[in-house]
Structure 1
Amino acid sequence: MSMMEYLLKVKTIADNLATIGEQVSEKDQVLQVLGGLGADYNPIVASIIAREDDISIHFIHNILLTHEL
């Protein structure tokens, strides 16, 4: 599946959970996205995890979509 499809799948799951009252934090969404990536993305995942600041899910989307190109 393309990166866009993968990111939309994770967003859909989070949105569906929110609909039934189970909010998924942005941090948990970031961790879920990063945890589901293949070995090709290990350097990116490592650099993101090494950061001390919180990273938004939108920032993660941009990084991953750029890397896919």
Structure 2
Amino acid sequence: MKREKLLWFCTCTALEVMTAAGVTAYLLYLGQTTIALISGVVFAKVIVFHFVIEIHEKLKQGKRLILKS
């Protein structure tokens, strides 16, 4: 289980989370609150989409394992 958690940090979703945090924080540092808010909303939609796809794929794999038994 620990290995899976470590590998999660190499996925697209984890990279998006880190990028979103960095971009939003930098825009806030520059004082661009409106643009930071917009980028946060856009990144949030993309990140949620990837989490939904990831969960869907895991559920799909689980069903395949049950059907093979």
Q: Taking structure 1 as the reference length, what is the TM-score of the superposition?
A: 0.42
Q: Which has the higher contact order (CA 8 A, sep 6+)?
A: 1
Q: Whose helix proportion is higher, 1 or 2?
A: 2
Q: Taking structure 2 as the reference length, what is the TM-score of the superposition?
A: 0.42
Bigger radius of gyration, 1 or 2?
2
